[in-house]
Amino acid sequence: MLSARCVRATVDHFPGDSMPRSLARFLVIVSLAAAANTAPRAAAAQAATVPSGRITGRVIDAKSGDAIGDAGVQIVGRGTGAATRADGRFFLPEIPAGTVTIQVRRIGYQPKTVTGIMLVGGQTLEQNIALTQAAAQLQALVVTAAAERGAVGAALDQQRRAPGIVTAITAAQIERSPDSDAAQAMQRVSGVTVQDGKYVFVRGLGERYTTTTLNGVRIPSPEPERKVVPLDLFPSSLLESVTTAKTFTPDLPGDFSGAQVDLRTREFPAGRVLAYSTTIGYNAAATGGTVPAAPRLGTEWLALAGGGRSIPSALGNGSIPASATQADINRIVGSFRNAWTPIPGSSIPNLSGSATIGGEGEMGPQRIGYVGSLSYANTQEVRAGEHRAKSNYITSSNSSVPFDAFTGSSGRSGVLFGGLVNLSSWFGDHTKIALNNSYNRSADNEAQRDEGVLNTDDLGPARRMTLSYIERSVRSSQLRLDHAIGTRHQLDGSFTSSGVTRSEPDRSDIVYTREALPSGELLPYAWLSSRPDAARRSFSDLTENALAGDANYKLSLASGENEWSVKAGGAYRTTRRDASALPYDILSNALTHAQRELAPEQIFDGRFARASDPYFRIIDQSTGGRYTADESIAGSYAMAELPRLFGRLRIIGGARVERWKLDVNTESVDPTVGRVRARRNNTDVLPSLIVNVRLTEAQTLRISASRTVSRPEYRELVPTETTPAIIGEVRTVGNDSVRRALIRNYDVKWEWYPAAGEVLSLGAFAKDFIDPIETVELSTSGAEKRTYQNARGANNYGVELEVRKGLGSFARSLSPLSVFGNATVMQSQIRLTPGSASQNRERPMVGQAPYVVNGGLAYAAAEGRATATVLYNVVGRRVWAAGTNPRPDSYELARSSMDVTLQLPLFRAFSAKIDGKNLLDAPVIVRQGTVDRLRYTTGRVLSLGVSWKP
């Protein structure tokens, strides 16, 4: 509707002087009425002929990366607009296709106009926009759409915007690497090492000092003797990003000791997405050859063990009654699955595949964003030339000699599959609800065979064989709420149910030896039937479930350069673990040597286990048992952020208070141990202060100090032994007197971002530990044991360097190339308690490497579809286990690795990917003194993949 004032203004500008003013006014009114009547019809006709699309995106602060709510987003020249929601997102539907210009305005920020947006009919285009806080004189900024898309959302932007020291890996980076799971992707992070292909060490600290979260919430560990979560459980195709935070802030859990690794699963895309990929791989040490293999049952290709691996029903509740008769014993022995010997297997290629679908849909009046993804991988690994030994220290000669040394090989077939379903929706303009669900499952079916000499009890030449099948799973369901009240108040919270399982059903271990005649002649190999641990079947299970909830409130005060905020919240997590280990030893003193020379499948096929046969005995192994753990952690925090103090300082400070309660109950099958209870109840105040100094627009200096805690893993408090698979290996026993450790953390880091996608940084860090928990190997008169002890203290310090640089600044022809690298050099020293039996009183902390270096060269074609990357990693020698007098410490030696990946477009939506992993095939070596305790190689892996993404 036009007002009379508008009509009058139109008449005043009507051309011609001869027409009477009253007639002119009348004609204008009539023409406007006609236009008003025909405009809707014309618009409808135009809409019917011109296709439309949608534009969605997010508006953030260019400096802090925080979401900007209530910003006005306008389509220039079309009168269409919207206001951003609580998380900075906006949605513009029914925009006519063509070239579009967007203008964004928000009080306290410099207006921005984004030009050159090409919108195709039927398309949903994502356009993120970063606003700069307004100076005293406002001036509108105009950028192109391509430049704006490249300016936000990258890993370096996340690193630059973070309040503390953060390193991020995005899905795009993972796609350009040969990494198939989160553990492999973590190898690219500054100061990170990965042990056994799954356990993450940050800054050379042991695995206990790294915590893992999924979508911001702690994940339980499925490992019975490790606190750290094995990251090989998470397929990389399901991940949106992997973020490593090295600086503690009060809104993080208090046992953030060395770093926190946060895995973010994929979020729903702006438009409908379909993607499929499949890969076939070749392991030079396995594929096409003969490798030790374990028999499979039923659905184990889906990581689901069949009933054939269950504890035999003849064992009842798992215990052997004291009144068991010989017939009962024979029935139990005959009921075990008759599988003991690795079979020669012809290995098959590694196979994997994944599928992803995502987009938005309508459910009644509500729009729902969704993403669903599935992945599956079947792989084979070989440890070729596998050598294992213990080190026996000879005091008189001051030297180490091999003890119980064996050489052989092992083969492992692995299955890993995972899936996720994530949903989210907006209710009004200020409330977002998201439901994130994920499930990952893996299984390793391993066969090991080696030969050597058992110096223990002078048993002589021996052959050992093991069949092991281990299943692990991780599940998580999270309901998350984000709500904004006006422009100053933000509320968020989540409730998460998570759980893990680990099952090793029906593991078999058997030992054959060659007995010597008085003449010195060696008899053929025969089952060592007189030893309790020479024929063992064991069953172990672990289940852990956790419930967690958190709520946070943020108040933003002032605006522009003077904006500051206060944040407070609380969290509660309760965890329940049930674990059991039930080994059964089979013995015989009645079988003849000729009978014991038979293959195990013949000895235990029932011919010697008839009801009246007197050959076998069976016992519960006294080192087994059950334990339960109940843990609760309640925390609350308050923190304030002053991002523009004195124009250059950004200060984040506050404290967290956590109360930790733990109750571990152990029930051993050994009557001399009985029941043992370990209880812990600690309340800790954990302060944190971070000062970020903006030196220039592209340079920042970060300084931080904080205090955190490191708590013992449940199993470390269980004072019963976990028996090794076989004679000659090290046993582990817990220590119910282990205490939690306190850590003081200090960091300083200079960062320079000279151009988009480039960074140069140099930092230093130091940590001071009180009562750190260390893994120690004990020298005993019997079997060697590994346990856990508190040292009096320790310190850890080092420097970090990171560089990423495009080569186009040196020559235009080098524009597609970029180099990147990071290096961490560190030192640590343990302070032992008086009277400690450690052999080396000035050693580094267990697991601490003196250096970690990552480097790479990347190529990206101008159109962006063809890429190539070369990656290199080397980790310095680090303490594998601390020795006690008279034995020295065990070290894992330095090892280098190199990976190469190449992505090429094929046709239409198809592309190919060629990966080369572990190209150097350097051996893994653990050395104690002059003795190699462990040595093996895993082979080079080549793979070819094809993906389809329309």
User: In sequence order, what DSSP letters do the residues of 93-141 get, joined into one string?
Assistant: EEEESEEEEEEEE-TTB--EEEEEEEE-TT-EEE--EEEPBP-SS---E
Q: Please state the rounded mean pLDDT for residues 195-223.
A: 72
Q: Average the pLDDT over 600-604 and give the result.
A: 96
Q: How confident is the model at residue 875 (pLDDT cuts 50, 70, 90)?
A: confident
Strand partners, 618: 586
pLDDT, one tens digit per residue, over 448-477 is 999 999 987 888 999 999 999 999 998 999
**pLDDT tens-digit map of 251-272:** 988 887 777 888 777 766 655 7
Rounded Cα distance between 723 and 735, Å, is 15
Q: Are 818 and 858 in contact (CB under 8 A)?
A: yes
Residue-wise pLDDT tens digits, 136-154: 333 444 554 444 433 333 5
C-alpha to C-alpha distance for 629 and 662, rounded to whole angstroms: 7
Q: Given a cut of 90, is residue 100 above it in pLDDT?
A: no
Is residue 117 a contact partner of residue 145, using CB atoms and an 8 Å limit?
A: yes
In the prediction, which pLDDT does 550 show? Answer: 95
Kindly indicate the confidence band of residue 35, based on its pLDDT and cuts at 50, 70 and 90. Answer: very low
Between 434 and 195, residue with greater pLDDT: 434
Average pLDDT, the chain: 80
CA dist 550 → 261, 264, 269, 271 (Å): 18, 17, 26, 31
Residues 423-439 have pLDDT tens digits of 888 887 788 898 989 89
Question: With 60 as the cut, is the pLDDT of residue 64 above it?
Answer: no
- Rounded to an integer, the average pLDDT of 497-516 is 93
Which band of pLDDT confidence, cut at 50, 70 and 90, is reported for residue 43?
A: very low
| Per-residue pLDDT at 509 exceeds 90 | yes
Residue 34 confidence (pLDDT) above 60: no
131 near 71, Cβ under 8 Å? yes
The separation between CA 942 and the C-alpha centre of its own chain, rounded to angstroms, equals: 24
As a whole-number percent, the residues of the chain with pLDDT over 70 amount to 77
Q: How many CA atoms lie within 13 A of 497 on its CB side?
A: 3
Q: What percent of the chain has pLDDT over 90?
A: 27
CA neighbor of 533 nearest in space, from 607, 454, 473 = 454
Tell me: pLDDT of 249 over 70: yes
For position 431, what pLDDT does the model report?
A: 86
Structure-token pair, residue 944? 């070819």
DSSP lists the bridge partners of residue 425 as 368, 433
Q: Which of 314-318, 477-481, 549-553, 557-561 has the lowest mean pLDDT?
A: 557-561
The mean per-residue pLDDT over the stretch 493-501 comes to 93
Per-residue model confidence (pLDDT) at position 232: 67
pLDDT over 90 at 885, yes or no = no
Taking 50 as the threshold, does the pLDDT of residue 8 lie above it?
no
Split at pLDDT 50, 70, 90, the class of 307 is confident
State residue 570's pLDDT score. 95
Q: What is the pTM of this model?
A: 0.78
- Strand 141-144 versus strand 112-119 pairing type: parallel
CB 823 within 8 A of CB 851: yes
The DSSP result for 769-812, as a single string, is: EES-EEEEEE--SSS-EEEEEE-SEEEEEEEEEEEEEEGGGT-G
**What is the pLDDT, as a whole number, of residue 6?**
39
